[in-house]
């Protein structure tokens, strides 16, 4: 996991995947905090804290992560508002946040920790507060990156919906994302599984910024999809985005 955080730290500003992720999740964040004066946002599993920088466009944002290396990298960048803690025991009081987010964390959580995390995110949210998750989708997309990311599972819409709704949330939106990458990723991941052991460090290819022309082309592609996601849900993709609301 430390290696993944180091690679993420290098790639998260310019890599096409991270650009696309920000473009499609930011409108959901804006919708979640619309009409709330000075919203409090809690990013659960904040990694290096890069997402806190743009979350602060929408309110006061705090983050925590269990991995000390990610926090250290973030502190080196001068990022603030981060602490070391586990998502299974969130260091915030009851009903203190308007929005709780967790981006590409849940696929690495064991089943009991997943349940504890949703219970804790529900606890820290105010009545009617919002939850936004981004998770890895579909077992068919397992590959070398799955080992690097220490994935426990990849989600289907049914699996994610069930987990969220069982913990007192109502789904407001559940959609695939990074659909434009699916036809590129599927043959690569199938090939990786068939081939077995990687000839380079497992998964590093997936998170390394490609050559400038390729990165630019894929950035345009995910940008077009992000614009479409403002209007319609995607039928398939490498990620699932869930926007839910606390009801009980």
Residue 244 · residue 125 · CB < 8 Å: no
User: In the predicted model, what is the mean pLDDT of residues 203-216?
Assistant: 79
**Digit-coded pLDDT (tens) for 108-148:** 999 999 999 999 999 999 999 999 999 999 999 998 878 77
User: In the predicted model, what is the mean pLDDT of residues 55-77?
Assistant: 91
How far is it, in rounded angstroms, from Cα 61 to Cα 63?
7
H or E element in which residue 153 lies: none
Q: Where are the beta strands (DSSP E) in 137-181?
A: 169-177
**Over 60: is that where the pLDDT of 205 sits?**
no
User: In the predicted model, what is the mean pLDDT of residues 83-112?
Assistant: 97
Q: What are the phi and psi torsion angles at 208 (to 5°)?
A: -90, 135
Return the pLDDT at 201: 47
Which residue ranges form the domains of the chain, and what is each CATH number?
2-246 (3.40.50.150)
Torsion of CA 166, 171, 173, 176, to 10 degrees: 10
**Over 90: is that where the pLDDT of 241 sits?**
yes
Closest CA to 104 of 171, 17, 183: 17
Neighbours of 98 (CB within 10 A): 22
Q: Which of 57-66, 73-82, 165-174, 197-206 has the lowest mean pLDDT?
A: 197-206
Return the pLDDT at 9: 60
**Over 70: is that where the pLDDT of 50 sits?**
yes
**Over 50: is that where the pLDDT of 198 sits?**
no
User: In the predicted model, what is the mean pLDDT of residues 35-57?
Assistant: 95
Q: pLDDT band at residue 182, thresholds of 50, 70 and 90?
A: very high
Closest CA to 217 of 25, 20, 73: 20
Return the pLDDT at 181: 95
The DSSP code for 197 is S
Return the pLDDT at 78: 86
Mean pLDDT taken over the chain: 91
Residue 238 · residue 186 · CB < 8 Å: no
User: In the predicted model, what is the mean pLDDT of residues 42-63?
Assistant: 96
Closest CA to 177 of 243, 125, 247: 243
Name the more confident of 7 and 15. Answer: 15
**Over 80: is that where the pLDDT of 13 sits?**
no
Token pair of 71 as six digits = 């926090």
Between the alpha carbon of residue 107 and those of residues 95, 138, 219, 239, the distances in Å are: 25, 11, 24, 11
**Digit-coded pLDDT (tens) for 76-88:** 888 899 999 999 9
Residue 219 · residue 19 · CB < 8 Å: yes
How far is it, in rounded angstroms, from Cα 61 to Cα 99?
9
**Over 50: is that where the pLDDT of 199 sits?**
no
**Over 90: is that where the pLDDT of 20 sits?**
yes
Instruction: Name 244's bridge partners.
Output: 131, 171
The DSSP code for 94 is T
Residue 107 · residue 76 · CB < 8 Å: no
With a pLDDT cut of 90, the percent of the chain lying above it is 75
Q: pLDDT band at residue 214, thresholds of 50, 70 and 90?
A: very high
User: In the predicted model, what is the mean pLDDT of residues 206-210?
Assistant: 77
Exposed/middle/buried for residue 81 (C-beta within 10 Å: 0-12, 13-18, 19+): middle
């Amino acid at each position: 996991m430390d290696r993944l955080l180091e690679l993420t730290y290098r790639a998260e500003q310019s890599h096409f995947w991270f650009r696309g992720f920000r473009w499609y999740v930011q409108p959901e964040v804006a919708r979640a905090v619309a009409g709330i004066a000075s919203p409090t946002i809690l990013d659960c599993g904040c990694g290096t804290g890069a997402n806190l920088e743009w979350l602060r466009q929408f309110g006061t944002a705090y983050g925590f992560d269990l991995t000390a290396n990610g926090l250290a990298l973030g502190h080196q960048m001068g990022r603030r508002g981060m602490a070391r803690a586990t998502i299974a025991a969130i260091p915030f009081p009851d009903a203190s946040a308007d929005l709780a987010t967790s981006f590409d964390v849940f696929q690495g959580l064991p089943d009991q920790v997943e349940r504890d995390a949703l219970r804790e995110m529900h606890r820290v949210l105010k009545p009617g507060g919002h939850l936004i998750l981004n998770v890895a989708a579909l077992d068919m997309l397992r590959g070398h990156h799955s080992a690097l990311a220490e994935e426990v599972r990849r989600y289907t819409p049914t699996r994610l919906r069930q987990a969220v709704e069982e913990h007192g949330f109502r789904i407001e939106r559940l959609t695939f994302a990074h659909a434009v990458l699916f036809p590129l990723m599927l043959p690569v991941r199938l090939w990786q599984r068939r081939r077995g052991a990687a000839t380079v460090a497992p998964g590093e290819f997936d998170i390394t910024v490609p050559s400038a022309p390729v990165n630019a082309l894929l950035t345009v592609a995910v940008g077009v999809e992000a614009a479409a996601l403002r209007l319609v849900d995607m039928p398939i993709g490498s990620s699932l985005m869930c926007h839910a609301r606390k009801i009980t």
